[in-house]
């Protein structure tokens, strides 16, 4: 559930950011690109700590969410999804951007000469042709979320039945005497899910590429 919510909530902004980085030229573009990919190079624990500073109950965004809407993200299931979404956001952006970069710009330019606006071109040409990259990015991000540990345990903690994800369950099992067997079973499940997600993304990517004639 945590992985699904992370992908559902972060895929639309990832598509938008990928489109901007691929097709727009604006001041600060390199900075935006660096910020997008920052979670790939930061230790996950640091990312979780930064989320705690910003979205904790005393953080600038967390305090506003709590005062205005009564929403608390830290140490909740939603917080675990936020941490997973932030960690996998660069993966989705890279996958979608590569798909958009592979599209012939002449198709969009031809639509522009026919009067299609920027958003019209995005939804009628760019996104349909970039669909394989979008689907692959979502599938790989989902599989990656299943293995996220550092950011989740730092921002959402390890609360049974609420924020405990599969990696946290494996970690908890290893802390208990005689828990090696349970950890082994959970690790096997994690391996199957991760491998299944990667194979599914590869299959979907091929099918969609074939559907659009690539």
> Residue 162 has what pLDDT?
78
Instruction: For residue 64, give Cα distances in angstroms to 49, 71, 81, 118, 155.
Output: 18, 9, 19, 34, 17
CB of 153 closer than 8 Å to CB of 87: no
Instruction: For residue 211, give Cα distances in angstroms to 81, 99, 131, 132.
Output: 32, 15, 10, 10
> CA 123 to CA 165: how far, in whole Å?
35
> Residue 171 has what pLDDT?
84
> Residue 18 has what pLDDT?
94
Q: pLDDT per position in the chain (214 positions), as tens?
A: 788 899 999 999 999 999 999 888 888 888 999 999 999 999 999 999 999 999 988 889 989 999 898 889 988 999 999 999 999 999 999 999 999 988 887 777 887 787 777 778 888 888 888 888 898 899 889 988 888 888 999 998 888 877 788 888 888 888 888 888 988 988 898 888 888 878 887 787 777 777 766 6
> Residue 212 has what pLDDT?
66
Q: Which domain holds residue 207?
A: 2-211
CB of 171 closer than 8 Å to CB of 163: no
User: Can you give the CATH number for the domain in which 165 is found?
Assistant: 1.10.3720.10
> CA 157 to CA 155: how far, in whole Å?
6
Closest by Cα among 172, 3, 200, 28 to 87: 3
Kindly tell me the sign of the dihedral angle through the C-alpha atoms of 164, 168, 170, 175: negative
Number of domains in the chain: 1
3-class DSSP state of 76: coil
Compute φ and ψ for 67, nearest 5 degrees: -70, -40
Closest by Cα among 92, 106, 1, 117 to 40: 92
Question: Hey, what's the torsion of the CAs at 196, 199, 205, 210, to 10 degrees?
Answer: -120
> Residue 213 has what pLDDT?
61
H/E element, 35:
helix 29-41
């Amino acid at each position: 559930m945590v992985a699904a919510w992370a992908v559902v909530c972060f895929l639309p902004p990832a598509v938008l950011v990928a489109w901007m980085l691929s097709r727009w030229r604006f001041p600060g573009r390199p900075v935006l690109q660096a910020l997008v990919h920052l979670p790939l190079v930061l230790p996950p624990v640091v990312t979780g700590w930064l989320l705690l500073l910003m979205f904790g109950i005393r953080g600038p965004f967390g305090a506003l969410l709590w005062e205005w809407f009564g929403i608390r993200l830290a140490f909740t299931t939603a917080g675990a999804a936020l941490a997973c979404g932030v960690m996998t956001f660069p993966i989705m952006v890279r996958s979608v951007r590569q798909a958009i970069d592979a599209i012939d710009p002449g198709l969009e330019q031809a639509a522009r000469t026919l009067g299609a606006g920027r958003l019209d071109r995005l939804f009628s040409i760019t996104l349909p042709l970039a669909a394989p990259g979008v689907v692959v990015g979502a599938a790989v991000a989902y599989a990656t979320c299943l293995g996220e540990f550092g950011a989740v345990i730092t921002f959402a903690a390890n609360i049974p039945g609420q924020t405990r994800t599969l990696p946290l369950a494996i970690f908890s099992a290893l802390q208990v005497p005689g828990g090696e067997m349970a950890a082994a079973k959970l690790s096997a499940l994690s391996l199957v899910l991760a491998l299944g997600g990667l194979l599914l993304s590869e299959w979907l990517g091929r099918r969609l590429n074939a559907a659009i004639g690539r």
